[in-house]
Amino acid sequence: MENGEIEGAPDDALPVPAAPPNGGRRYRPVGSSDRAVVQMTSMEPGSSSSSSTTAVGGITPQPPRNLTVDPSMQEGSTGSQGDSKLELFGFDSLVNILGLKSMTGEQIQAPSSPRDGEDIAITIGRPKETGPKFGTLMGVFVPCLQNILGIIYYIRFTWIVGMAGAWQSLVLVSFCGACTFLTGISLSAIATNGAMKGGGPYYLIGRALGPEVGVSIGLCFFLGNAVAGSMYVLGAVETFLDAVPSAGFFKESVTVVNSTLGNGTATSGAATISTPSLHDLQVYGVIVTILLCFIVFGGVKIINKVAPAFLIPVLFSLLCIFLGVFIAPRHNAPKGITGLSITTFKDNWASEYQRTNNAGVPDPNGSIYWDFNALVGLFFPAVTGIMAGSNRSASLKDTQRSIPIGTLAATLTTTAMYLFSVLLFAALATREELLTDRLLTATVAWPAPAVIYIGIILSTLGAALQSLTGAPRLLAAIANDDILPVLNYFKVSEGAEPHSATLFTAFICICCVVIGNLDLITPTITMFFLLCYAGVNLSCFLLDLLDAPSWRPRWKFHHWSLSLVGALLCVVIMFLISWSFTVVSIALASLIYYYVSLKGKAGDWGDGFKSAYFQLALRSLRSLGANQVHPKNWYPIPLIFCRPWGKLPENVPCHPKLADFANCMKKKGRGMSIFVSIIDGDYHELAEDAKTACHQLDTYIEYKRCEGVAEIIVAPSMSEGFRSIVQTMGLGNLKPNIIVMRYPEIWRRENLTQIPSTFVSIINDCIIANKAVVIVKGLDEWPNEYQRQYGTIDLYWIVRDGGLMLLLSQLLLTKESFESCKIQVFCIAEEDTDAEELKADVKKFLYDLRMHAEVIVVTMKSWEPHMETSSSGAQQDDSQEAYRSAQRRISTYLSEMKETTQREGRPLTEDGKQVVVNEQKIEKFLYTMFKLNSTILRYSRMAAVVLEPPPPPPLNHPAYFYMEYMDLLVENVPRMLIVRGYRRDVVTFFT
């Protein structure tokens, strides 16, 4: 096809490569001169296909718009596009996957992605415009700086220095700054580990620790941002009303300060301090919040244009404060402002904690007592805001570069400024002035307080604007992940503004503004922010410690120990502030986590907890090794044949009662089971069918509430499939140790002649592989968890089996269906055995094993040739009839085998293997099975379940004979477990 034809074709009628006549792909040998590359050219519409082309390694700078294939790769002279030589590698080329639309500059999503919402667009040509993108300065540094430099510094920092003193204030700033700096390092590491979408810390925590943890911490962080917006608004309004008292609608609150401070130091006299009315704060706060929401509705582009108008006055106000400090005191300065003085600094070096009223004014009779812990809660919001840039990660040009540089630069800048300010304020004014002048920064500023008032108002409004911008985007990111259906109202399309989330954020902000108490709001904000910071540090710690192959952050200046220290600092600060607030915030996050676990949809992205489980499993497996497990640590790991002998509908992946029985083999349902089905056929042809069957079986296991995994094996026959399973299934000591299957009761009724050889092959393979075997007879009548059984669980203990039958009987008693039963142990002994001594020994053995059971010794005559069976009761008659029938069938089968071998002139064989027939041994086996069956019918006809060990298949005997032996053993017994141990102790005397 000509390029012009491709250019002019409509989007919905794009050409496709011509199919080969036989319906498959065509391949041809690749010569030495062939170039296994697809060539692309940048041609204007109407240009011919003969224009110059450039290989993939040298694509022209202009956006490619057409696809040209090497002429040697085209079929015939018709110009139809041939198959790409990249098909020789067994995969479609990238061009074939993306289609021709990608060459026109349209955005095509990757063909495979873990989640639709996380697809990364692959664009060849011009990328699709998705809105304004911002760099490090305007996208991260400025928002972080505006959020950090808020109201606390201007109207509370000098008060904190006066209360804590210089040295404790330095400790306070360093302590809080270290917490945010370490969190910034962790944030930088996670943010540079891959593409980061909207949601900021929620996106990072959710992808690292899972959707439940991500949503719970993300919603708390959203609330923290929304409440922080109200704090900044209240700070701006309070500053405005302090500067312009006449603007208040209600009467100011007047506080008279007593003549002594909290430490008993005398002052010059009482002072009167006026504070704005609560109602004025509420009215103005609501109005300002609504005005800010109108700006936020304009989008990120408008906000970033407005941001410098808020930030420049802030920086100018800081400059004015520092200039005023160095030139103080001026002629109209209060007496408490001494200027930079070493004497004043020494006086303010120590702390002086005291009581204050609700407005923060010192009062010996005040209701609030301040100490270092309380000051941590008050000051910590002054260092928060480091997430302001990551909250807007969807609007950044390069998140992996901008977030680390912008966040850490803002953190270091503000922390250094706070430390420097502590030294200046401690040397500037007396303690009384620091504690009573709520706006000392404005009082000391040069040239006039009005400049500072404007700077304070604009700085707090800028911080409020950033909070009202980041919080809705965080909520929209949580909603877009579709984890909680209740948040669907806040979903937004890509590039759209989250208007619904903004309205909800404004509502929360207005509710907090109505409270009007700044000192009550700040501890709440602190807890939510600290919870988020702890989550970020924990995420980085977990990822760094596990060191998965996908963990490759570009930010190298991190270590798991730093993240751990950061997480511990967050927790310590939370409890220092208030253990009650800490408990409430953790309880809230836990409730959200529980709600998400119940009602939320599972996120299909990986998380660190699953990786931690994987690493723990690997280390545990290595520690277990492959040595023999001690009986104290032995657990049954059953391998269950779901469809061993067919005769189940195709849509039934497993016999329903096998899952019930698998749970009976595990104490309290704990432990691992492996459910296996074998599909007869060729693996290449049935691989997809096996995957589908495995998915169906896995779904069924989950439905039956079994702790297990599903495996489907494709093999030429069941015998070969089982032989592969028994050799390779499992790792180390986590290999299955018990083979569980249904007894083939249907083999004679359905005339399934292949079952005897398969059955014997499986038993022999288990013996060679040293696996225990549990064969369930009467599986269709096996009780479920709601069918209570009464009577006894009878064990016929004949040979040493390591205690497996004893253990299984105890496990059955732990289930509701068998908990009303009692255990009876029947010891089969020869006639000349001392029955009483044997009974005493078994009782002592069971007592030492902490097992309660009644012991019954049954003696049995040894078999002698030509021994006649005698009839004694109905049970003996039933067994004797089965015994005679088995003798006749074996005799007939043996005669047919001999006739066939004599006719063909070859040795006696079965399934291609030579067999040896010892008629005396056959008769001995039949008699022994007859005696055991008659004994079981005599003592255990009404038992809930009978456990009996099977004999091993006689060497070189026909498999048909062994099936006859087993049929005689289970004859007329409604429910039996045929248990063969593997000569390894699974119970022990010792605790």
Please provide the DSSP assignment of 858-912 as one string. Answer: EEEPPP-TTPPP---SHHHHHHHHHHHHHHHHHHHHHHHHHHHHHHHT---EETT
Look-up of token digits 């021994």? 867
CB 602 within 8 A of CB 211: yes
Please choose, from the candidates 696, 610, 709, 684, the residue with its C-alpha nearest in 3D space to the C-alpha of residue 648: 696
Type of residue numbered 985: D
CB 191 within 8 A of CB 389: no
Please choose, from the candidates 910, 912, 913, the residue with its C-alpha nearest in 3D space to the C-alpha of residue 894: 910
Cβ neighbour number for residue 682 with a 10 Å cutoff: 11
pLDDT for residue 105: 42
Please choose, from the candidates 821, 747, 815, 738, the residue with its C-alpha nearest in 3D space to the C-alpha of residue 775: 738
pLDDT for residue 381: 82
Burial class from Cβ neighbours inside 10 Å (0-12, 13-18, 19+) for residue 543 reads buried
Q: For residue 75, what are its two tokens?
A: 């079929």
The whole-angstrom separation of Cα 666 and Cα 687 is: 32
pLDDT for residue 505: 92
pLDDT for residue 815: 84
Q: How do the domains of the chain map onto residue ranges?
A: 136-257+271-599, 632-777, 795-864+879-990
Q: Is the C-alpha dihedral spanning 434, 439, 442, 443 positive or negative?
A: negative
Taking domain 632-777, whether its CATH number is 3.90.1150.10 is answered by: no
The single-letter DSSP state of residue 140 is: I
The beta-carbon contacts of 703-706 under 8 Å, at least 24 apart in sequence, are 704/656, 704/659, 704/660, 704/663, 705/663, 705/669, 706/659, 706/662, 706/663, 706/669, 706/673, 706/675
pLDDT for residue 428: 92
C-alpha R_g of the chain: 41
* Phi, psi (rounded to 5 degrees) for 140: -130, -55
Cβ neighbour number for residue 415 with a 10 Å cutoff: 19
* Phi, psi (rounded to 5 degrees) for 540: -65, -40
Q: Can you tell me whether residue 256 is helix, strand or coil?
A: strand
The whole-angstrom separation of Cα 631 and Cα 637 is: 14
- What would the pLDDT profile of 290-300 be if each residue is shown by its tens digit? 998 888 887 77
Q: Which residues of the chain have pLDDT under 50?
A: 1-87, 90-129, 259-260, 262, 266, 268, 871-872, 990-991
The whole-angstrom separation of Cα 278 and Cα 252 is: 9
Q: How many CA atoms lie within 13 A of 262 on its CB side?
A: 23
Contacts of 494 (CB under 8 A, 6+ apart): 130
Type of residue numbered 348: N
pLDDT for residue 62: 45
Q: For residue 508, what are its two tokens?
A: 């929360």
pLDDT for residue 607: 62
CB 399 within 8 A of CB 131: no
The whole-angstrom separation of Cα 859 and Cα 925 is: 17
User: What CATH number does domain 136-257+271-599 carry, 1.10.3720.10, 1.20.1740.10, 1.10.3210.10, 1.10.357.10?
Assistant: 1.20.1740.10
Regarding beta strands 673-680 and 638-641, do their DSSP bridges make them parallel or antiparallel, or are they unpaired?
parallel
Q: For residue 446, what are its two tokens?
A: 């040069």
Contacts of 579 (CB under 8 A, 6+ apart): none
CB 453 within 8 A of CB 245: no
Please choose, from the candidates 711, 770, 734, 775, the residue with its C-alpha nearest in 3D space to the C-alpha of residue 637: 734
pLDDT for residue 342: 93
User: Between vectors from CA 732 to CA 617 and to CA 543, what angle results, nearest 5°?
Assistant: 20
Strand partners of residue 913: 910
Q: For residue 260, what are its two tokens?
A: 């002594």
Strand partners of residue 355: 369
CB 925 within 8 A of CB 953: no
Run of H or E residues at 712: strand 708-715
The whole-angstrom separation of Cα 889 and Cα 612 is: 60
